[in-house]
Chain A
Amino acid sequence: MSSQLAGAGTRIDIQNVTKRYAKSVAVDDVSLTVEPGEFITLLGPSGSGKTTTLNLVAGFTDLTSGSIEIDGQRVDNVPAHKRGLGVVFQHYALFPHMTVAENIAFPLQQRRTPKAEQKTLIEDALRTVGLSGYGDRYPRQLSGGQQQRVAFARAMVFSPRALLMDEPLGALDKNLREKLQLEIKRIHQEVGRTFVFVTHDQEEALILSDRIAIFNNGRIEQVGTSAELYERPASLFVARFMGESTVFRAPVEAAGPDWSMDFHGTRLRGPAAGQVPGRGALVLRPEQLRVAPRAGDAPGGAVKVPVKVVQNIYLGSGHKYELRLPDGSTGIVRTPLAESNGLRPGDDAVVYWSDRDGVLLEDSDLVSTT
C-alpha cells in the first residue's frame, strides 16, 4: 500500500552550527545527530532558534559557521531544491492555484516521474492521509486540518530522505491537533523515515518523539528521551520546561559528591550529584512529594520542609496541592486519593520526600525569590 513511501531513514549530522544575524545570534553552536528513522523534536520557547535550525537543515538559510551532513555528505552549499528533504510548514504553503492532486504531483513532476506512476503515488499518498477522493479540490475548499494533511502528502509523496516539520499543527484547534498527532505518529511508524519536528508544546513533544532536543536562547540545553529529560534534567531550564516541578534553592555545602544545603533552617540532602554547584536548586517532581498536617506524620528518614497550603484541588484520581515554600516560591504535590488528609487552603503543613529522590542542579536564575 504505502510501500513506495517506506524505506530506510537518513542520518542528519548538525555540527557546531551557528547562525548570526546583524543584531542577534539565532543559533549558537548547536550540535545534534538525528539517527536514521528517528522521530526527533526540537522543543523550546519562542525565539529559541528552533525554526532557524530547521531552516538551516532544509537549506532555506545559509549558516554562519559549522557544518550539516545528510547521510555523511556535506550539504552546507547544496541548495534547498537539491537536498531531497520534505518540509511541512505551519502555514501549510499549499499552492492556491493548483488542485490537491496537482499540488501533490508537483514534486513528482520535478523528478520526472512517469505519469502513470505519479497517479498511483498520488492516490497512495492521499489514502495515507485519509483524503482519498479529494484530488480535484482546491486548497481553499478544504478545512485547515485537511489542508495540513495535503501538505503532509505533498511532502512525503516523493519519498524524501527525511521529513522536517515546523509547528505543523500550530494553527489547528486542540481536538484536531490531538487527532493529527496520532496520525503523524502512525505515519512515522508506517514509513520508518527520519522525522524532525518543531514545537513549543511540551505535551505534543512527549506524545510524538523518540528523542527531544530542548532549545533555549539559540542553544541546545539537553537531548534525550522524554523519560531522561523528566527524570534527569541537565539544567533548571529543562526541569522547568519538562513538566511540573518544585525547586528548593539555597547555597550548597559540599564534600566530594556528598552535599547538603541549608534551606531556611532545614537541612536538605539528596542523591550524589556529578558536579556540585555553588548555588543549588534541588528539583522534585510532584509525585515524589507528599504533604502532611504535622511533621510527626511524616516517616522518620524523610526530608521535611514546613509549608503553607495555598490550594488543595480534587482531581478524581487524587489530589493536587499548591504550596507556599518558606522562600515564597510555589510547590506542587500530587498524591493518590488514598492519602487524602483534609488539608485546606491557609493550613500549615509539612512537605516531605525521601532523600533518594531529587536532582541537584545549578541555580541558573539571575534573580532569586526571597
Chain B
Amino acid sequence: MSVSLKDPVRQAGQARRTGGAAAASGRRPLRLSPVLLLLPALALMAGVFAYPLAEAMWRSVAYPAPGPQNYQWFAADAGNWAVLGRTLWVALLSAAICLVLAYPYAYFMVISGPKLRAALMVIVLIPFWTSLMIRSFAWIILLQDNGLVNGLLAVLGLGPFELIRNTTGVLVGMVQVLLPFMVLPLYASMNNVDLRLMQASSSLGARPFVSFTRIFMPLAMPGVVSGSLLVFIQALGFYITPALLGSPAEMMISQYIYMQVNGQLQWGRGSVLGVILLVATLALLGLLALLMKKSKRAAGDEGGLL
C-alpha cells in the first residue's frame, strides 16, 4: 500500500492491469458465444436430418422384427437392383443432359452484354417461380400421345412417339426442373474466368477452338463439377416428376419407397431402400472427391468444393 502511495504511476498501471485482467476474464465466457450461436442451427440439423436418418437406419434392421431380413430381401430380388440401377442411371443422364444444354447457355450469358445477360438470367429463374406440380402436368399435356409435341411431329410426318409414362418423360421433366441448378454454378464459374487469358492465348498462336478447350474449359471446370453434383443428387431423390411422367413399370427409387411404405406398410423395406440409396450416393461422391483431389493436387490448388 505504502509503495503504491509513493508511486502513483505504478499504482495506476497496476489498476489498469487488474482492470484489464478483469475485463479479459469477463470476456472469457463470451468467447464461447460463436458455439452458442450455432446451437439452434445444430439442434435444427439434428432434429431434421440426423434424427430421421438414425430412425430410418434403425427401422431397416428392426421392422417388422429385429434382424437383417430387410437387407436379405433387397439383395435377393433382382427387381430391387434394377430400380437402384435405373435411379442412378436416370440421375446421371439428367446431369449429363443438363450439362450439355447449360454449358453453351452459360457461356453465352458470360460473353453477352449486361442487358441480354439479365434477360437470360430471368429466363433461367422463371421456372423457380412456378409450382413443380403445375410444370409436371404441363409436360403431360405437351407430351401425351395426342399432345402438342406429337402434333408437331405429325406435321413433319413423324411419330406418334410415346413420350410420357416412360423414362423419356421422366428425363424431359427432370431436366427442365433441374436446369437452373446447372446453369447457375456454371455461369458463376465461367464468369470468374479471366477472358483476357483468351487474348493472351491467341497471341501465342492458339486457334479460337484451342483457346477454348485448353484455357477456358479447364478454368470453368469447378462449375461443371458443382453443377453436375447438384443436379445428380437432386435427381436421385426426385419423386413428383417421375410419379407423374414415369410409369410403374420403370419405377425410380423414391416411387418404390413410397410404394413399400404407403402401399404395403413395409417400413423396414422402405428404410433399407433409403439407406442403400444414401450409401450408394456417398460412395459415388467419395470416388469423385478422390478423383478431384488428385487432379487438384496436380493443379497445386488447396481447398475447394469437396
A81-B215 contact given A89-B196, A138-B300, CB 8 Å threshold: no
Interface flags for B196-215 (1: CB within 8 Å of A; 0: not) read 11011111111110110011
Residues in chain A near residue B204, CB distance under 8 A:
81, 86, 106-107, 110, 154-155, 158
Chain A interface residue count, Cβ-Cβ cutoff 8 angstroms: 29
Mark out the residues of chain B between 227 and 242 whose CB falls within 8 Å of any chain A CB in the assembled complex. none
Q: Are A107 and B200 in contact (CB-based, < 8 A)?
A: no
Q: How big is the B interface, by class?
A: 20 to 34
**A-B residue pair count with CB separations less than 8 angstroms:** 67
CA distance A154 to B200 in the complex (A): 10
Shortest beta-carbon distance from A81 to chain B in Å: 4
Q: Are A95 and B207 in contact (CB-based, < 8 A)?
A: no
A81-B203 contact given A95-B215, A97-B299, A141-B300, CB 8 Å threshold: yes
Q: Are A81 and B300 in contact (CB-based, < 8 A)?
A: no
Q: Are B205 and A97 in contact (CB-based, < 8 A)?
A: no
Residues in chain B near residue A60, CB distance under 8 A:
199, 202-203
Q: Are B219 and A110 in contact (CB-based, < 8 A)?
A: no
Residues in chain A near residue B215, CB distance under 8 A:
95
Q: Are B197 and A80 in contact (CB-based, < 8 A)?
A: no
CA distance A141 to B300 in the complex (A): 9
Would you call B218 an interface residue if the criterion is a C-beta within 8 Å of the partner chain's C-beta atoms?
Answer: yes
Residues in chain B near residue A87, CB distance under 8 A:
199-200, 203
Mark out the residues of chain A between 67 and 117 whose CB falls within 8 Å of any chain B CB in the assembled complex. 79-87, 89, 91, 93, 95-97, 99, 106-107, 110-111
Q: Are A93 and B205 in contact (CB-based, < 8 A)?
A: no
Interface flags for B173-211 (1: CB within 8 Å of A; 0: not) read 000000000000000000000101101111111111011
Would you call A125 an interface residue if the criterion is a C-beta within 8 Å of the partner chain's C-beta atoms?
Answer: no
Instruction: Name B299's closest neighbour in chain A (CB-CB).
Output: A97
Q: Are A80 and B300 in contact (CB-based, < 8 A)?
A: no
Shortest beta-carbon distance from B189 to chain A in Å: 13
CA distance A93 to B200 in the complex (A): 6
Shortest beta-carbon distance from B171 to chain A in Å: 33
Q: Known contacts A80-B202, A97-B219; can you find 10 more A-B pairs with CB under 8 A?
A: A58-B203, A59-B203, A60-B202, A86-B204, A89-B196, A89-B199, A89-B200, A95-B215, A106-B206, A110-B210
- Can you offer 25 A-B residue contacts whose CB atoms are under 8 A? A59-B202, A60-B199, A79-B202, A80-B199, A81-B203, A81-B205, A81-B207, A86-B204, A87-B200, A87-B203, A89-B196, A89-B200, A91-B194, A93-B197, A93-B199, A93-B200, A95-B197, A95-B215, A97-B218, A97-B299, A106-B206, A110-B204, A110-B206, A110-B207, A140-B300
